[in-house]
């Protein structure tokens, strides 16, 4: 009997998106559910290794491999939740003029257009991974990041406010491998900016780091 948290896959209603087929979404949600299953499984297996209070020499290779895989599976689970959550049927290409996101993008990049150039640019990078717009909780600044696979490049403590999956499975049923820019365009047309807005607001509230590092606004 362990004290492990058992994660259950969340439900997402994402049929009827623009330029991303229901078939893609169904397949993608199944993949996400696999990450949830694997996260639970690995956590359980690791707890077996540690429950006697000792990791001996023979156990170390298997224990290490499971622990490395946990970073991949865990981030795969969490990033997919951010991704599905920041899309909706009838989404909008760009945020509203008076939104906090637009103001944050202007403060951090000079203009929304420059922010978007960077985010889309990150999304077009070669390789499998993610484009993520993070908010630094210490100063509310936005920055865009490339994440290899699911676990390499995440900035500790940063708040992901917009998350875009650019693994080929996200678009291969709808577009050719070289047509990732078309998928990115479709992704933008489905963004649920209200969910982005909510993350921003929550992200900057009551963080001790923010109190420690005041910056002029
Ligand atoms: Fe994915």
Cα of 100 vs centre of ligand 1, distance in Å, is: 28
Task: Tell me: pLDDT of 30 over 90.
Answer: yes
Cα of 188 vs centre of ligand 1, distance in Å, is: 16
Cα of 95 vs centre of ligand 1, distance in Å, is: 24
The alpha-helical segments, DSSP class H, found in the chain are 22-50, 60-85, 100-109, 112-123, 180-189, 193-204, 208-212
Ion ligand 1, residue ranges at CB < 5 A: 165, 167
For 154-192, the pLDDT digits (tens) are 999 999 999 999 999 999 999 999 999 999 999 999 999
Cα of 33 vs centre of ligand 1, distance in Å, is: 11
Task: Tell me: pLDDT of 217 over 90.
Answer: no
Q: What is residue 202's predicted lDDT score, i.e. its pLDDT?
A: 59
Cα of 30 vs centre of ligand 1, distance in Å, is: 10
Cα of 61 vs centre of ligand 1, distance in Å, is: 29
Cα of 2 vs centre of ligand 1, distance in Å, is: 30
Cα of 44 vs centre of ligand 1, distance in Å, is: 24
Cα of 59 vs centre of ligand 1, distance in Å, is: 32
Residue 43 dihedral angles phi and psi, to the nearest 5°? -60, -40
Q: What is residue 206's predicted lDDT score, i.e. its pLDDT?
A: 46
Cα of 28 vs centre of ligand 1, distance in Å, is: 6
Burial class from Cβ neighbours inside 10 Å (0-12, 13-18, 19+) for residue 107 reads middle
Cα of 208 vs centre of ligand 1, distance in Å, is: 33
Mean of pLDDT values over 106-130:
97
Q: What is residue 211's predicted lDDT score, i.e. its pLDDT?
A: 41
User: β-strands 129-135, 142-148: how paired?
Assistant: antiparallel
Cα of 158 vs centre of ligand 1, distance in Å, is: 21
Q: Which has the higher per-residue pLDDT, 205 or 28? A: 28
Q: What is residue 4's predicted lDDT score, i.e. its pLDDT?
A: 84
Q: What is residue 1's predicted lDDT score, i.e. its pLDDT?
A: 52
Mean of pLDDT values over 110-139:
97
Q: What is residue 98's predicted lDDT score, i.e. its pLDDT?
A: 94
Q: How far apart are CA 83 and CA 66, in angstroms?
A: 25
Q: What is the pTM of this model?
A: 0.91
Cα of 180 vs centre of ligand 1, distance in Å, is: 14
Cα of 32 vs centre of ligand 1, distance in Å, is: 7
Cα of 187 vs centre of ligand 1, distance in Å, is: 13
Cβ pair 209, 138 in contact under 8 A: yes
């Amino acid at each position: 009997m362990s004290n492990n948290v058992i994660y259950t896959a969340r439900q997402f209603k994402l049929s009827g998106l623009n330029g991303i087929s229901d078939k893609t979404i169904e397949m993608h949600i199944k993949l996400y559910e696999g990450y949830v299953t694997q996260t639970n499984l690995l956590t359980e297996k690791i707890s077996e290794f540690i429950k006697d209070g000792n990791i001996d020499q023979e156990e170390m290779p298997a224990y290490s491999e499971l622990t490395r895989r946990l970073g991949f599976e865990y981030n795969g689970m969490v990033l997919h939740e951010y991704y599905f959550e920041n899309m909706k049927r009838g989404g909008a290409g760009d945020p509203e003029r008076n939104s906090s996101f637009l103001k944050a993008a202007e403060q951090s990049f000079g203009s929304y257009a420059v922010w978007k150039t960077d985010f889309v640019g990150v999304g077009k990078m070669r390789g499998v991974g993610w484009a993520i717009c993070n908010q630094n909780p210490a100063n509310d600044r936005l920055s865009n990041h490339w994440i290899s696979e699911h676990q390499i490049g995440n900035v500790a403590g940063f708040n992901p406010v917009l998350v875009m999956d650019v693994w080929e499975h996200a678009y291969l049923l709808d577009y050719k491998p070289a047509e990732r820019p078309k998928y990115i365009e479709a992704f933008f047309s489905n963004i649920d900016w209200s969910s982005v807005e909510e993350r921003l607001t929550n992200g900057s509230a009551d963080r001790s780091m923010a109190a420690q590092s005041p910056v002029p606004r």
